[in-house]
A and B are shown apart, each in its own frame.
Chain A
Amino acid sequence: MSRSFRDIFEQYDWDQIQRRIAETTSTDVLSALAKKKRQLTDFLALLSPAAKPFLEQMAYLSQNLTQQRFGKNIQLYAPLYLSNECQNICTYCGFSMDNKIRRRTLSDAEILLEARALRTMGFQHVLLVSGEANHTVNTPYFLNALQLIAPIFPQLSIEVQPLETDDYKALHEAKVNAVLVYQETYHREVYKNYHPKGKKSNFHYRLDTPDRIGRAGIHKIGLGVLLGLEDWRVDSFFNALHIDYLQRTYWKTKYAVSFPRLRPAEGVAPPNFSMDDADLLQLICAYRLWNPDLELSLSTREHAIFRDHVIPLGITSMSAASKTNPGGYVVEPTSLEQFEISDERPVAAIVDRIRQLGYQPVWKDWHPQFAGN
């Protein structure tokens, strides 16, 4: 059995990390800020409450590091929801099996309709998304979908249920650039409560997923925690620990972090842990200061005003004009969304705003020829 993140994860204790974050002093923060290269312990200091008074300085450093590494560019993409069928119960999700909503899995013709609509809006990078329905929405289904839309989009990413290494190899050969999988929370017990039923209830299988993606040679792995399920500071530390391990192990792979902050959805209780805008900005800056080459992505879950303000502060990639329901762009725009969109502006308005801020919207930063060789 080869090494996996689990070996490292087992050495850490949630409560101990939580205590260390609480006990961080402004001296620790200053020391982290002064460094040229920062370690995980610095990341921990920078996301602690003790770093709050230094947020302006963090934002300044984050802006500089991001511009140096990524330039004044913002990558744009859109999600394409393939299916809301799901055999998991996730208490926070609109697609949870126990939610009585109409289920739909897009047919070939519907996938093409949605894809062409997105292409017309200008997108060249799409993120395919599904729930977890392994009998119908599985690797053969994804490969078929990828084959259908490959002539339309040069850059393809996918965010679906955890798969096996061979499945990821097949996706790689089908020219997938990035695979996204969020642990949701690294708190084992709490994870069980939020995911009582379905394949997703297996915490460790999910935890091992980025290792399987890495072994398959996928070019980019996206990670994240669902901010609001548990203490976001502790969860984010574990997420960074995970990235740190992956970056050492699968060194040819790029890493991206998303910041899904829990928002209200139909049939779902409000989040247990709140994270305000200053917290989220602090987290974005902490990631940037710790790891200057991470791609940091912000979705339309976030409000337009917040999104506009953080464009120059560390973010490198954004979705725009998203629909989070299968068929949401043209096939069936009125169906229920997975989560509520907060930034509802059309693509043109978002692109204009990015330009006004002195940044260049980038539609494509990948060539399919680079995958599967």
Chain B
Amino acid sequence: MINKLKIADRTFDSRLFLGTGKFGSPEDMEEAIKVSETQMVTVALKRIDMETNTDEILDRIPADRIQLLPNTSGARTANEAVLAAKLAQEAMETNWIKLEIHPDPKYLLPDPIETLRACEELAKEGFVVLPYIHADPVLCKRLEDAGTAAVMPLGSPIGSNQGLKTIDFLEIIIEQSSVPVIIDAGIGAPSDAAKAMELGADAVLVNTAIATAVYPAEAARAFALSVIAGRIAYESGLRKSMAQATPSSPLTHFLNQPYGHE
């Protein structure tokens, strides 16, 4: 039995969060969400049909057991993101917001300055803010000061499936953080997710690797299992691997010998 994750006032049994983009069909997305047993999914405001009361993405997410996490993807500045958060709050009836401010449309790398500004403003207004950021330990502490509910550092660029390229900095973030750390981008294989969890990440968010798999639901199942395994390993107090074997103590053996006894 693994510990529950708490973010703001909500507890989660599952430590795997899903994105809803890139699926070949809404049915594939629905099935992946179901199989993964996730309890939080992120949805881009820009993809939501705000005019009508039906939306092919939202209609397939069971709101009773899943926390909707609207995201501000498409915003290039703090102002745009704050406006988007308010529209999302209205459209999806939640004060949770995944702050995504990536002015660079090429690698979708997050703008730390605008993200911090938007987080300050939204947290003040009572939003539960989960910001997507670079694996920058100082920025994480600054966001904590600003009232963030969690931090979401990237493992590698969004959609790149490159795994945990930022691992050394993720370890520092996990070590220092007083809010949950969710590894957000670049997780390409269940082994990457397991690794992140073994490091002590509180959760991972996966989208591209599941959505673009040949069988998305099967991929979702593999990620769900790997997240559980990684978390159990972390909680089990798994020993760190050592660079070399440690022999019985030839260097310090003398400490156990009384003086004058040769």
Q: Mark A223-264, 1 if CB is under 8 A from B, else 0.
A: 000000000000000000000000100011110000000000
Interface size on B, residues (CB 8 A): 34
Is A204 interfacial (CB 8 A cutoff)?
Answer: no
Task: Tell me whether B87 and A72 are in contact (CB under 8 A).
Answer: no
Q: Which residue of B lies closest to A312 (CB)?
A: B24
Is B84 interfacial (CB 8 A cutoff)?
Answer: yes
Q: Report the bound CA distance from A288 to B46 in whole Å.
A: 24
Task: Tell me whether B23 and A71 are in contact (CB under 8 A).
Answer: yes
- One of A71, A251, A367 near B211 (C-beta < 8 A): A71
Q: Report the bound CA distance from A149 to B155 in whole Å.
A: 42
Task: Tell me whether B24 and A370 are in contact (CB under 8 A).
Answer: no
Q: Shortest Cβ distance from B61 into chain A, in angstroms?
A: 15
Q: Mark A124-141, 1 if CB is under 8 A from B, else 0.
A: 100000000000000000
Most buried by A among B48, B74, B84: B74
Q: Report the bound CA distance from A73 to B21 in whole Å.
A: 9
- One of B25, B45, B77, B103 near A360 (C-beta < 8 A): B25
Chain B residues near A67 (CB, 8 Å)?
Answer: 22, 212
Is B31 interfacial (CB 8 A cutoff)?
Answer: no
Chain A residues near B22 (CB, 8 Å)?
Answer: 67, 70-73
Q: Report the bound CA distance from A69 to B106 in whole Å.
A: 10
Q: Shortest Cβ distance from A282 into chain B, in angstroms?
A: 24
Task: Tell me whether A293 and B106 are in contact (CB under 8 A).
Answer: yes
Q: Mark A337-373, 1 if CB is under 8 A from B, else 0.
A: 0000000000000000001001110111111011001
Q: Report the bound CA distance from A50 to B95 in whole Å.
A: 56
Q: Report the bound CA distance from A69 to B157 in whole Å.
A: 11
Is B2 interfacial (CB 8 A cutoff)?
Answer: no
Is A68 interfacial (CB 8 A cutoff)?
Answer: yes
Chain A residues near B49 (CB, 8 Å)?
Answer: 124, 363-364
Q: Shortest Cβ distance from B110 into chain A, in angstroms?
A: 13
Q: Report the bound CA distance from A366 to B84 in whole Å.
A: 11
Is A154 interfacial (CB 8 A cutoff)?
Answer: yes
- One of B26, B47, B208, B212 near A364 (C-beta < 8 A): B47
Chain B residues near A355 (CB, 8 Å)?
Answer: 25
Chain B residues near A359 (CB, 8 Å)?
Answer: 24-25
> Chain A contact residues: over half helix, strand or loop, or mixed?
loop
Q: Which residue of A lies closest to B74 (CB)?
A: A370
Q: Report the bound CA distance from A365 to B104 in whole Å.
A: 17
Q: Report the bound CA distance from A341 to B229 in whole Å.
A: 55
In A294-323, the 8 Å CB interface with B consists of none
Task: Tell me whether A370 and B75 are in contact (CB under 8 A).
Answer: yes
Q: Shortest Cβ distance from B194 into chain A, in angstroms?
A: 21
Size band of the A side of the interface? 20 to 34
Task: Tell me whether A252 and B105 are in contact (CB under 8 A).
Answer: yes
Chain A residues near B48 (CB, 8 Å)?
Answer: 364
Q: Report the bound CA distance from A364 to B55 in whole Å.
A: 11
In A67-86, the 8 Å CB interface with B consists of 67-73
Chain B residues near A253 (CB, 8 Å)?
Answer: 105
Chain B residues near A219 (CB, 8 Å)?
Answer: 76
Q: Report the bound CA distance from A367 to B80 in whole Å.
A: 10
Q: Report the bound CA distance from A340 to B46 in whole Å.
A: 33
Q: Mark B9-32, 1 if CB is under 8 A from A, else 0.
A: 000000000000111111000000
Q: Shortest Cβ distance from B262 into chain A, in angstroms?
A: 63
Task: Tell me whether B212 and A72 are in contact (CB under 8 A).
Answer: yes
Chain A residues near B160 (CB, 8 Å)?
Answer: 68
Chain B residues near A72 (CB, 8 Å)?
Answer: 22-25, 211-212
Q: Report the bound CA distance from A70 to B87 in whole Å.
A: 25
Is B138 interfacial (CB 8 A cutoff)?
Answer: no
Given contacts A72-B23, A360-B25, contact A369 B103 (CB under 8 A): no
Task: Tell me whether A370 and B76 are in contact (CB under 8 A).
Answer: yes
Q: Report the bound CA distance from A293 to B83 in whole Å.
A: 26
Q: For the A-B complex with A71-B22, A363-B49 known, give 5 more contacts whose Cβ atoms are closer than 8 Å.
A: A71-B23, A73-B21, A247-B106, A360-B24, A367-B74
Binding site for B on A (CB under 8 A): 67-73, 124, 154, 219, 247, 251-254, 293, 355, 358-360, 362-367, 369-370, 373
